[in-house]
């Protein structure tokens, strides 16, 4: 088997590459990456030690992709500019070139050389205004909670499903990913490409060099470990915003199953996330980090809410469970514990990044 992973040295891509190596010891796995994301260069040694080929390239360059000059059985498109804040304070050029032009280049490559594609999209395709209009309970003091009764479709106490509104603005980042989804579906229909679209919630865990605009939950754990201050931001500055967290092991299980059933699943869109059982607010995560590390760090407060922030997102993954019997197995505590083991084991590297 031959597998190509774009963004293969990033947090998600490298985790998938290593897990596919364990599953297929004799597979030829290629990690294609421009090494722009901080920390991605540190994954190179591990990948090469496991016999995973590295190609330095950029999906914005069609020539970089076509210079691979070989066919692949499976193409995992995990590259992106992943920050929801991208383009808000300046030119959106890199975002658009990577997430739009880059996707087109990847699809053209797939059409000719890799007829089976796993596309990693994002929950950020869902529109911001409807997400802010989700009815929330008033009583909790540490997290926002979805109310039992809602006045819009695609939302229940179990979270947001694939029918939730995507027709209104959703951030430049979300718009690029939704546009990519639409083009990918056209390639499936027009050219017979086999492809699955996964709208991932927050992926967090060991190997993620997180920061405020992308990977904040892993950063939260790391800052506790390295005794660095933090700040609750937005919606009153109390840390009540809620997200569900997906461990990379659970993401791999979903992608693996999909790759084995791609003929049946091609063209479908799935939410992939930890779900309500693996959801947390930053306030609750603080308590978990204190317990796991034995440390308490200063936490400031800024009530200012950015234009792209939302009070709550929890993935309803019922469709994935119904279609291919998948659901996340790891919870928030598992993610905290596994991340702390990684921070300690690779402290010479993680300290450079986080501390």
**Which candidate, 254, 262, 287, 288, places its Cα nearest to that of 120?**
254
Is residue 281 a part of any domain in this protein? Answer: no
State the pLDDT confidence band at 230, using cuts at 50, 70 and 90.
Answer: very high
For 271-284, the pLDDT digits (tens) are 999 999 999 999 99
233 is a domain residue: no
User: What pLDDT does residue 299 have?
Assistant: 98
Does residue 259 or residue 89 have the better pLDDT? 259
pLDDT greater than 90 at residue 29: yes
As a residue count, the chain comes to 355
Q: Does the residue 51 lie in any domain?
A: yes
44 part of a folded domain: yes
Is residue 89 predicted with pLDDT exceeding 90? Answer: no
Q: Which pLDDT value is given to residue 139? A: 66
pLDDT digits (tens, 9 = 90+) for 34-50: 999 888 899 999 999 99
In a domain, 97, yes or no: yes
Work out the average pLDDT over 139-164: 93
Question: pLDDT higher for 98 or 211?
Answer: 98
Q: Quote the domain boundaries for residue 119.
A: 1-126+170-200
For residue 129, name the pLDDT band (cuts at 50, 70, 90).
very high
The CA-CA-CA angle for residues 250, 220, 130, to 5°, reads 70
Question: Is 139 a member of any domain?
Answer: no
| Average pLDDT over every residue of 316-337 | 98
The pLDDT of residue 37: 85
What pLDDT digit, counting tens, does each position of 99-121 carry? 999 999 999 999 999 999 999 99
- Give 32's strand partners: 6, 55
Domain count, the chain: 1
Q: pLDDT tens-digit profile of 267-324?
A: 999 999 999 999 999 999 999 999 999 999 999 999 999 999 999 999 999 999 999 9
pLDDT at residue 204 in the model: 97
Distance separating alpha carbons of residues 119 and 75, to the nearest angstrom: 8
Between 75 and 355, the higher pLDDT residue = 75
CATH code for the domain in which residue 121 is found: 3.40.50.720
In a domain? residue 288? no
Q: What is the pLDDT of residue 354?
A: 92
In this predicted structure, the answer to whether residue 18 has a pLDDT above a threshold of 90 is yes
For range 6-33, the mean pLDDT: 97
| 29 inside domain | yes
Expressed in angstroms, the distance from the first to the final Cα of the chain is 40
The pTM of this model reads 0.96
- The pLDDT value recorded for residue 355 is 86
Residues whose CB is less than 8 angstroms from the CB of residue 308 and which lie 6 or more positions away in sequence, other chains included: 84, 85, 88, 128, 171, 173
């Amino acid at each position: 088997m031959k597998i190509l992973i774009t963004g293969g040295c990033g947090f998600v891509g490298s985790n998938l590459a290593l897990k596919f190596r364990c599953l297929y010891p004799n597979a030829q796995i290629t990690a294609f990456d421009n090494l722009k994301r901080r920390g991605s260069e540190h994954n190179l040694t591990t990948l090469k030690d496991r016999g995973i080929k590295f190609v330095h390239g950029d999906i914005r360059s069609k020539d970089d992709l076509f210079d691979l000059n070989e066919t692949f059985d499976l193409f995992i498109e995990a590259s992106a500019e992943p920050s929801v804040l991208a383009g808000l304070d300046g030119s959106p050029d890199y975002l658009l070139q990577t997430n739009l032009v880059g996707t087109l280049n990847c699809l053209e490559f797939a059409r000719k050389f890799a007829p089976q594609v796993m596309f990693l999209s994002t929950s950020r395709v869902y529109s911001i205004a409807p997400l802010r209009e989700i009815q929330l309970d008033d009583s909790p003091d540490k997290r926002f909670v979805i109310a039992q009764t809602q006045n819009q479709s695609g939302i229940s106490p179990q979270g947001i499903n694939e029918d939730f509104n995507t027709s209104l603005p959703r951030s430049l980042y979300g718009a690029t990913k939704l546009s990519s989804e639409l083009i990918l579906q056209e390639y499936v229909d027009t050219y017979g490409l086999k492809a699955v679209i996964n709208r991932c919630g927050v992926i967090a865990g060991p190997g993620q060099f997180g920061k405020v605009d992308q990977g904040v939950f892993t950063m939260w754990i790391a800052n506790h470990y390295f005794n660095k201050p933090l700040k609750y931001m937005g919606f009153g500055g109390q840390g009540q915003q809620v997200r569900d967290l997906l461990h990379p092991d659970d993401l791999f299980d979903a992608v693996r199953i999909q790759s084995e059933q791609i003929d049946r699943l091609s063209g479908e869109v799935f939410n992939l996330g930890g779900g309500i059982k693996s959801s947390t607010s930053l306030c609750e995560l603080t308590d978990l980090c204190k317990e796991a590390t034995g440390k308490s760090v200063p936490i400031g407060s800024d009530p200012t809410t950015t234009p792209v922030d939302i009070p709550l997102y929890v993935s309803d993954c019922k469709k994935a469970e119904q279609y291919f019997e998948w659901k996340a197995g790891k919870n928030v505590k598992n993610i905290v514990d596994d991340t702390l083991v990684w921070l300690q084991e690779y402290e010479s590297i993680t300290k450079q990044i986080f501390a």
